[in-house]
Amino acid sequence: MAGLPAAQAAWLRGSEFRAKAHELRLLPGPDGVAGAVLGLGEERGPQAFGSLAFALPEGDWALAPGDFDVPSAVLGFGLGAYRYRQFRAPKRAPARLVVGAGAGRAVSQVRAAWRVRDLINAPANLLGPAELAAAAVALASEHKAGWTLTEGADLEREYPTVAAVGRGSERAPVVAAFRWQGSAAGADAPLVALCGKGVCFDTGGYDLKPPGAMLRMKKDMGGAATALGLAQLIMDADLPVRLAVRIGCVENSVSGRAMRPLDVIRTRRGLAVEVGNTDAEGRLVLCDLLAEASDEKPALLVDCATLTGAARVAVGPDLPAYFTNDDGWAAALESAAAKHHDPVWRLPLWDGYDSWLDSPVADLNNVASKPMAGAIVAALFMRRFLAPGTSWLHFDLYAWNDSSRPGRPEGGEAQAMRAVCAAIEAKLAA
């Protein structure tokens, strides 16, 4: 208040402004609204600014100097300005924030988050495997990355588990992949491999989900969307790394061609998997991708998936659970998560549960013999397909906001993406 004209400071005092979090006051001027004051309370992260885009009147706004981090403010404003607009425009346009050089990478982060949210929010009748693959190709093309699509007989040979999951749908499965190299990255630059679970709709297959559990299954490609958003951040920042992205694009449906409980399927790694539950399809989509990616000896392999309800039981919707076999990457990730207000929570790769995946007829089952520790067992399943010595981060995401909060409108959400990018930059690109 000390820096405001006397009349405006008196207006704030008279309106009992207390600077509580998200408390907003418009400041009067001779021609109407002269500005606005936002209370931060104890908040200093992006969410503190997440309500501004629709709380401020329409028009252009700029940030005045204050006791806050400018990139966080820009990020929070941009995240809060998002609405899914494909079928219905918002009742009013958001206010616009004019930003300068001090915004850092916040604008890139907002754009990546909007891309992820748009993909997750798209209804499954409009975003099937082919459309998700096309979205990956579009991102690759924007950054002049070389891309490939693997489908049909080639998919059956190269990624047999992806083919098995997608066989029950009329919409054919496809693996979309692309490679990119930073402008300062040589042939021996660190390789970062990203894999995403892109199940565009999950009925559960023959182990059919009940209606309530199926209601949001258009978001079951949230891992693929997050992997694409992470790739966008890495490419926008032009990190000095090589990047390899693989997205398994499928639909898990019920038909005469769909995989059945107790089917045994071969994998790219050569392991035979007994299908204990057709609704545990995400780990099948990923295991072939992980096998191929890890064989290239990346400096880091990251997979993203909306994989288990058990992870949500353990840590709830806002905390992405992650698993890793590398404590150094865990430390880098958690430091980045705290710095960038992008929380994650580590769960253990508990070796004592590994035998729960034993099968009497195959090398392993895709589900445990016990009804506990579902997120851990899923991670242990996928670990079986890694090449020895691979540094691996596995994210079990919710990728959704159940209700609207500042900066987090109801619907699809990008989780852990900023933290992972920052950890990669700190550990590989410093």
**Residues forming the active site:** 209, 283
Q: What is the DSSP letter of 111?
A: H
The tokens for 361 are 């007829």
The Cα–Cα gap between 356 and 368 comes to: 5
Q: Which of 290, 287, 117, 324 is nearest to 218 (CA)?
A: 117
Distance CA 411, CA 407 (A): 12
**Dist. CA 30–CA 49, nearest whole Å:** 27
Residues 385 and 294: beta-carbon distance below 8 Å: yes
Q: For residues 349 and 380, what is the distance between their CA atoms, to the nearest angstrom?
A: 6
Please report which helix (H) or strand (E) contains residue 346, including its range.
strand 345-346
Write the single-letter amino acid at 420. V
* Token pair belonging to 287: 């295991």
Q: In degrees, to the nearest 5, what angle opens at C-alpha 172 toward C-alphas 169 and 177?
A: 135
Answer yes or no: are the C-beta atoms of 349 and 376 closer than 8 Å: yes
* Dist CA 333 CA 314 (whole Å): 20
Helix (H) or strand (E) segment spanning residue 181: strand 174-181
Neighbours of 297 (CB within 10 A): 12
Torsion of CA 147, 153, 154, 160, to 10 degrees: 110
Tell me the helix, strand and coil percentages in the chain, rounded to 5: 40, 20, 45
